[in-house]
A and B are shown apart, each in its own frame.
Chain A
């Protein structure tokens, strides 16, 4: 089967999938969707692929998946034979899923805040900014305690889907006016994420040279 990712370069959810595909070393075809200014993801053709009108969308033969969290799990289950990214152990699995749902729900305001700042998507800037800071504080508290117990990643002792799903919102937070000053544990963790083999950047996440 050949993988096809319907993708938008500036979309942080699409970036999560590109990041995992790169870490897994999987070849895939990328279809660039004209989100801005074309709103192509809400065209009739795209609504047939995903009635929510959102990206990314992964097509793998007869299978069509939406939601970056679901796509990450699918790719990990199918192609990560060692179970690093989505551990089989029930406790580790539960913890990874907890952070995946956090990324989809509690970090949604951060995604919206960025789209509001960059592409003028309507939002209550103050409310989404405050919700973003609450979520980042929860992440920093978690990684602070993890580091004090000798761990480097959100779950377990190696990088998982949790790290991939949580990375873009904080790494891109300067796009919507939230600096990293208050999140020292996340600053160190973000440097670790950059060392994952196959790590790639996206616009807004600088490539150190």
Chain B
């Protein structure tokens, strides 16, 4: 069995991204009492928000039978697995097993959790432990949409940095800024998997209607999926993806 740390290091090395904080979702897109599955470097994660409004990022796997927890449901401040209803508290500790309701659940039944923060209207996970550095700055931002692309993360980052899909300022290896009709936009790149990328988009200035930005984002996605990758600079490898 490979330790989680080894898996993460391998993932970041393969895709040319450093340890850092990566956006996984828009904060306002995850309602209290709901969960969403996602991936980072091909590793399945569940992002969920408890009834009190706090968000959590965990490994998306119930220790019981390996079912994705994101298929399950949130009850109060617990998340429950769809298969057999095992419930986990905010720290990932299993607290209730319906088939054995009187059982004092052993401390060893625990879901691996990740450090996460909400900043710039997005939910960020710390990747590769302490090497990730400081969490991203909580700049004022209005979340717009998340964009999912069938394209390798390093290719998307290079196309944006090279100005091939418009004029983007590279703030860090995983974050970008651009201007659109008087609005300032902030984009955070999520290396979803080897051939898949998410871009989380927020408006940081101006008052261009959010729907117009969403339409622009569809066109950006079409460009980024169609553009040839030939002639691009090597992948960025600086540490820290934070804004």
Contact = CB atoms under 8 A, between A and B. Distances in A.
A80 interface: no
A126 interface: no
Contacts of A188: 29, 31, 34
Which secondary structure dominates where chain A touches chain B?
A: helix
Interface residues of A, number: 19
B238 to A, nearest CB: 28
A179 B146 contact: no
Contacts of B29: 184-185, 188
B211 A148 contact: yes
A185 B29 CA distance: 8
Interface stretch (B12-20, B36-44, B49-57, B106-114): B36-44
B145 A144 contact: yes
B211 A184 contact: no
A181 B37 CA distance: 5
A141 B218 contact: yes
Given A181-B37, A184-B25, A206-B82, A145 B215 contact: yes
Contact of A181 (B39, B210, B214): B39
A152 to B, nearest CB: 12
B65 to A, nearest CB: 15
Interface string A120-162: 0000000000000000010001001100110000000000000
25 contacts: A137-B148, A141-B218, A144-B145, A144-B214, A145-B215, A148-B145, A148-B210, A179-B37, A180-B36, A180-B37, A181-B36, A181-B39, A181-B70, A184-B26, A184-B29, A184-B36, A184-B146, A185-B145, A187-B34, A188-B29, A188-B31, A191-B34, A206-B82, A208-B73, A209-B85
Interface of B: 25-26, 29, 31, 34, 36-39, 70-71, 73, 82, 85, 144-146, 148, 198, 209-211, 214-215, 218
